[in-house]
Structure 1
Amino acid sequence: MKKIRNFALVVGLVVTAGILAACGNQTSKNGSNKQSISLMQTSDLTSLDNTNQATMPEFNTLTNISEGLYRLNDKDQPVPAMATKIVKPSDNGKKYIFHIRKSAKWSNGDTVKAVDFEYSWKRSLNPANNPVYTYVFSGIKNADAIINHKKSYKTLGIRATGEKTLEITLDHPMAYFNKLVAMPVFMPQDKSFVEKVGIKQYGTNAKNTVSNGAFKITDWTGTSDSYRLVKNPYYWDKKAIKLDQINYKTVKDSNTAHNLFEDKKLDDATISGVTAKSLQKNKNLKSVPKAWTYYLQVNQRKGQPLANQKLRQAISLAINRKELTNKVLADGSLPASGFVSPGTAIDPTTGKDFSRETSFSVAQNTAQARKLFNAGKKEAGISGTVNLSIVGDDQDVTKNVAQYLQGQLDKTLPGVKVNISNIPDKAQQARRSEGKFDLAQWYWLADFGDPINYLGILTTNNTMNPGKFSDRTYDNLIQKAKTADNQADYWQALRQAEKRLMSRTGIIPLYYVRESHLVNPKLHGVEYHVAGFADYTRASITK
Structure 2
Amino acid sequence: TVDPKTASQYAYLFEGIKNATDIQNGKKKPETLGIKAVGKYKLVVTLDRRIPYFNNLMAFGSFFPQNEKAVKKYGSKYGTASKYMVYNGPYIMSGWSGSNLSWKLKKNPYYWDKKNVKLDAVNYSVQKTPSTAYNLYQSNKLDAVALDAEQSKQLKSVNGYALYPRGTTFYIQFNQAKNKYLQNANIRKALSMAINRESLTKVLGGSNTVAHTFTPAKLTTVNGKDYTSLISKSDEAYTYYNKKEAQKYLKQGMKELGVSKLSFKLLSDDTDGAKKSTEAMQSNIQETLPQVSITTQNLPFKTRLARTNALNFDMVVSAWGADFNDPISFLDLLTSTNAQNGGKWSNKEYDKLIAASKTTGSDSERWSNLSKAEGILLKDVGISPLYSSTSAWIVRPEIKGLVNLRDHWDFKYAHVN
Within 5 Å, give how 1:351-390 maps onto structure 2: 352-358=225-231, 359=233, 360-361=236-237, 362-377=239-254, 379=256, 384-390=261-267
* Alignment of 1:189 onto 2:72: no
In 2, the alpha carbon distance for the partners of 1:382 and 1:218 equals 61
The aligned runs of 1:45-444 (5 Å cut-off) are 124-198=1-75, 200-251=76-127, 254-303=130-179, 305-325=181-201, 327-348=202-223, 352-358=225-231, 359=233, 360-361=236-237, 362-377=239-254, 379=256, 384-392=261-269, 394-413=270-289, 414-423=291-300, 425-444=301-320
Conserved 8 A contact 1:252-1:396: no
User: C-alpha deviations, 1:90-120, integer Å up to 9, x for none?
Assistant: xxxxxxxxxxxxxxxxxxxxxxxxxxxxxxx
Residue 264 of structure 2 contacts residue 315 of structure 2 at CA under 8 Å; is this kept in 1? no
Contact 2:102 2:124 in 1 (8 A): yes
Q: Distance in 1 between matches of 2:401 and 2:114?
A: 16
Partner SS for 1:128: coil
Checking the alignment, whether the CA contact within 8 Å between 2:163 and 2:393 is kept in structure 1 is: yes
In structure 1, the residue matched to 2:348 is 472
Distance between the aligned counterparts of 1:435 and 1:178, measured in 2?
A: 35
Q: From the superposition, tell whether residues 289 and 391 of structure 1 become closer, same or farther in structure 2 (CA, over 3 Å).
A: closer
- Tell me the alpha carbon deviations over residues 333-388 of structure 1, each in whole angstroms, 9 at most, x when there is no partner: 3211111222222333xx53211231523421123323433544554566755131
- For residues 155-178 of structure 1, what are the alpha-carbon distances to aligned partners after superposition, in whole Å with 9 as ceiling and x for unaligned? 221012323321101111223222
1:476-491 to 2 correspondences below 5 Å: 476-491=352-367
Q: CA deviation at 1:234?
A: 2.6
The structural deviation recorded for 1:224 is 3.7
**Aligned counterparts of 1:304 and 1:215: Cα–Cα separation in 2:** 53
CA deviations over 1:139-196 (Å, ceiling 9, x no partner): 2222233344443333221012323321101111223222220122210111111122
**Cα distance change, pair 252–395 in 1 and its aligned pair in 2 (3 A):** farther
Would you say the 8 A contact 2:78–2:85 is kept in 1?
Answer: yes
Q: In the alignment, does 2:393 pair up with 1:517?
A: yes
- Mean alpha-carbon deviation: is it higher for 440-449 or for 163-172? 440-449
Residues 398, 422 of structure 1: 8 Å contact kept: no
Change in CA separation of 1:370 and 1:226 when aligned onto 2, cut-off 3 Å: farther
Residue range with higher mean Cα deviation, 504-513 or 203-212: 203-212
The residue type paired with residue 156 of structure 2 is Q
The sequence identity of aligned pairs, in percent, is 36
State the alpha-carbon separation in 2 of the partners of residues 402 and 266 from structure 1. Answer: 34
CA drift at 1:320: 0.8
TM-score after normalising by structure 1: 0.70
User: Shift of the alpha carbon at 1:277?
Assistant: 1.6
The more displaced of 486-495 and 245-254 is 245-254
Amino acid of the residue matched to residue 336 of structure 1?
A
CA distance in 2, matches of 1:466, 1:225: 33
Cα distance in 2 for residues equivalent to 1:401 and 1:164: 50
SS at match of 2:317: strand
- Aligned residue pair count: 412
- Mapped to 2, the partners of 1:294 and 1:204 lie a distance apart of 29
Distance 2:195 2:72 in 1: 50
Residues 305 and 378 (structure 1 numbering): CA distance in 2 closer, same or farther, change over 3 Å?
Answer: same
Per the TM alignment, residue 304 of structure 1 is displaced from its structure 2 partner at its CA by: 5.9
Aligned partners of 2:148 and 2:163: how far apart in 1? 11
**Deviation string for 1:492-527 (max 9, x for gaps)?**
111111101111212211112232211111221111
Q: Which moves more between the two structures, 447-456 or 470-479?
A: 447-456
> Residues 236 and 258 of structure 1: is their aligned pair in 2 closer, same or farther, counting only changes over 3 Å?
same
Judged with a 3 Å threshold, the aligned counterparts in structure 2 of structure 1 residues 158 and 323 are, in CA distance, closer, same or farther, namely same
Deviates more, 1:485-494 or 1:245-254: 245-254
Residues 1:229 and 1:127: Cα distance change in structure 2 (over 3 Å): farther
TM-score, normalised with respect to structure 2: 0.89
Cα distance in 2 for partners of 1:139, 1:162 equals 24
Shift in Å at residue 454 of structure 1?
1.8
Structure 1 pair 266/429, CA: closer, same or farther in 2 (3 Å)? farther
Q: 1:534 to 1:443 in 2, by over 3 A?
A: farther
Determine which structure has the larger helix proportion and give its number. 2
For 2:368, give the aligned amino acid: Q
Question: How many angstroms apart in 1 are the aligned matches of 2:183 and 2:250?
Answer: 13
1:329–1:303 Cα change, 3 Å? closer
Give the counterpart letter for 1:344 in structure 2: L
C-alpha distance in 2, partners of 1:247/1:364? 45
Supply the distance in 2 between the matched residues of 1:470 and 1:478 (Cα, whole angstroms). Answer: 12
The letter for the 2-side match of 1:355 is T
Q: Secondary structure at the match of 2:36?
A: strand
Alignment check: 8 A CA contact 2:279 2:296 kept: no
2:327 aligned residue: 451
Report if aligned partners of 2:159, 2:397 keep a CA contact under 8 Å in 1: no
- Paired residues of 1:272 and 1:516 also in contact (CA < 8 A): yes
The 1:157/1:472 distance shift into structure 2, 3 A limit, reads same
Q: Deviations over 1:386-410 (max 9, x none)?
A: 1313222x44433332332232233
Moved more, 303-312 or 173-182: 303-312
For residues 219 and 337 of structure 1, what CA distance do their matches in structure 2 show? 43
Q: How far apart, CA to CA, are the structure 2 residues paired with 1:433 and 1:382? A: 29
